[in-house]
Amino acid sequence: MKGPGEGDDAHDLRSAVGASRDLSSLEDDGKSASPGGDMDSSVPMCSPNVPVPRFSPTFFDRHPLVCDALKALENSIIYFRGKMVGIPAALDHSSGALNYDQVFVRDFFPSALAFLMTEKPEIVKKILLRTFRLQASEKRVDCFTLGQCVMPASFKVLHNPVTGSEKLSTDFGGSAIGRVVPIDFSFWWIILLRAYTKAIGNCDLSQREDCQRGMKLILSLCLSEGFDTFPTLLCANGCCMIDRRMGTYGYPIEIQALFFMALKCARDLLKADGDWKIYIALIEKRLPALTYHMRSHFWLNHEQLNDIYRFKTEEYLYTVVNKFNVIPESIPDWLFDFMPRKGGYFIGNVSPGRMDFRWFAAGNCISILSSLTTRERSLAIMDLIEEKWQDLVGEMPMKAVFPALESHEWRIVTGCDPKNNPWSYHNGGSWPVLLWLLTAASVKTGRPRMVKIALELAERRMGKDEWPEYYDGRDGCYIGKQSRKMQTWSMSGYVVARMIAEDPSLLGLISLDEGKDMNPTLSRATSLPSRLFPDPPRYTPADNPTSLTSICASMVRKRFRPFLALFRMRKHFRCLTRVNLLGIRLFFTTIKCTSTGYSLSFSPRF
């Protein structure tokens, strides 16, 4: 039986890719590629652009930290033979560089957004093209040659002081710590291409033959036939932001959410002509299957947890409830305390006999941005963050993973990794870079108060602490033990968060609508007023906190808050209201009866 994305289509796909010419000859100025504006009538979208606002000088005056961060980012740009090629992961020279002096596509993403938001798209274009060219170079790890489509893990410029020449040294995982090969880079690359297209408002770059080919190479890898029985992507440990052994092998949520988002972006950007139409067809097939799988098997809330707790095992055939034969005893104790009545989230991983119930911040926020979740469930994820604020955010937004693996579990899962000690680094550490994802998800779901508090927490420390890579501790209040300082994505993550908070329309660069991909009927998440952030006002379309409309709206909201609260609670008071009405009726009947001298005979009806 052929699954989605398999069969004849996949065969055509392989031959199409096999036929591709040697890409290493492509120049980043586009000379050997088809000219920039080569759009024909079969070109699909060039979706309306997201006008990049000009931030007023008062914005920068109000937020000097944004200026500092932007200045540091611009000064950190690396050049290769006179052309910009990227930004290193950290500018900290106090501890051994390891590979922190290299350019990572993953780390560059928030910096790229910051450049797009400050009208410097040229840097982004150059770097997109550079990484694409590196994708085309020869890749070997020991004696093994990697596939054409694999993106570099990182790269750096080597200067030869004797000859004065420069060389790019690229790592495809062959020299990375633990030999991890990133999968997420390819997806970030496609998502960035869409953001760039949106920001400049034309498809010149994305329609270039070399960019089209770059996307197709990536798609050929993740949509090709294999032994898969699920539409999700099977991954090795350390293939995403968490690039060490942390039990993320299998089907990690971060990769699935990025995969989903990249497929949607690629569908928008691909030209629907010639041999390449096949990719659009494959994406169309894969998206509903992926959406269904994720929404059905990764979602967890209180009700679902109760179902899993009561699962029967060893069920066989098609109508079973416990499809993956998950043993209820494998539910960790912490989860029963953690799971609030209100809210829910996508769990970390699902595969036969295994559910990783840990909370992963990036995967959940990207699910909201990409609309892998429904609107109701996006609200439920944010409800959970609010309810569990102290656990997930604490003093520094926000934890990459919750909770930390401890004692025996830490030994088995991490292989006794001292860098990933409990509540440190990937294992329960807090990552300032995640601030931009949290902010974007909060703005999309209308939680401005959450944005405000998260930004205030970050601003209180990050500049003073010199932009650490991560914080340690249950509350995230210690600078990470081995944390680099002047981490570039901590800076750009903050800048992007501040700018989205200032102008929510910027969300259009990285947020996708739900569309018609998949809409299974799902139960509605409850949304009672929250404990931590009572009565959160929703963002209106033009919700600029400094605009006159929003100032008036907030004054009206403040004045009418008690009435609004009563109005929101009306459902819960419906019974009481009925009783009250009954009481009033009874009161008047009594008066009437007493005044007319009749005796009272009354049988209440509800």
Interface residues with ligand GLC (CB under 6 A)? 89, 104, 106-107, 241, 243
Residue 89 or 372: the one with the smaller Cβ distance to ligand GLC is 89
Are 505 and 55 in contact, with CB atoms under 8 Å apart? no
Residue 353 CB, nearest approach to ligand GLC (Å): 28
Residue 89 or 361: the one with the smaller Cβ distance to ligand GLC is 89
Are 140 and 119 in contact, with CB atoms under 8 Å apart? no
Residue 107 or 387: the one with the smaller Cβ distance to ligand GLC is 107
Closest CA to 139 of 126, 152, 158, 156: 152
3-state secondary structure of 388: coil
Residue 89 or 283: the one with the smaller Cβ distance to ligand GLC is 89
The single residue listed with the structure tokens 């060490």 is 244
Residue 23 or 437: the one with the smaller Cβ distance to ligand GLC is 437
- What's the rounded Cα separation, in Å, for the pair 231 and 423? 33
Residue 107 or 417: the one with the smaller Cβ distance to ligand GLC is 107
Look at the alpha carbons of 588, 592, 593, 597 in this order and tell me if their dihedral is positive or negative: positive
Residue 206 CB, nearest approach to ligand GLC (Å): 25
Are 170 and 152 in contact, with CB atoms under 8 Å apart? yes
Residue 70 or 87: the one with the smaller Cβ distance to ligand GLC is 87
Residue 204 or 243: the one with the smaller Cβ distance to ligand GLC is 243
Q: CA angle, 545 as apex, 540 and 547 as ends, to 5°?
A: 85
Residue 193 or 400: the one with the smaller Cβ distance to ligand GLC is 400
- What's the rounded Cα separation, in Å, for the pair 114 and 124? 10
Residue 196 CB, nearest approach to ligand GLC (Å): 21
- Radius of gyration (Cα) for the chain, nearest Å? 27
List, in order, residues 6 or more apart from 256 with CB less than 8 Å away: 232, 233, 290, 294, 298, 363, 372
Paired strand residues for 354 = 351
Residue 403 or 429: the one with the smaller Cβ distance to ligand GLC is 429
Residue 571 CB, nearest approach to ligand GLC (Å): 44
3-state secondary structure of 547: coil
Residue 243 or 472: the one with the smaller Cβ distance to ligand GLC is 243
Residue 73 or 241: the one with the smaller Cβ distance to ligand GLC is 241
- What's the rounded Cα separation, in Å, for the pair 588 and 582? 10
3-state secondary structure of 352: coil
- What's the rounded Cα separation, in Å, for the pair 388 and 382? 10
- What's the rounded Cα separation, in Å, for the pair 279 and 285? 10
Which residue of the chain is nearest ligand GLC when measured via CB? 89
Look at the alpha carbons of 231, 236, 237, 242 in this order and tell me if their dihedral is positive or negative: negative
Q: Please report the DSSP string for 142-161 in residue order.
A: TTEEPPTTPPPSEEEEEE-T
- What's the rounded Cα separation, in Å, for the pair 127 and 130? 5
**H helices, E strands: number in the chain:** 21, 12
3-state secondary structure of 599: coil
Residue 493 CB, nearest approach to ligand GLC (Å): 12
Residue 300 CB, nearest approach to ligand GLC (Å): 25
Residue 241 or 265: the one with the smaller Cβ distance to ligand GLC is 241
Are 75 and 88 in contact, with CB atoms under 8 Å apart? no
For helices 561-568 and 548-559, give the axis angle rounded to 10 degrees: 70
- What's the rounded Cα separation, in Å, for the pair 455 and 436? 10
- Beta strands at 344-351 and 299-301: parallel, antiparallel or unpaired: antiparallel
Amino acid at the residue 402: F
Residue 243 CB, nearest approach to ligand GLC (Å): 5
DSSP 241: S
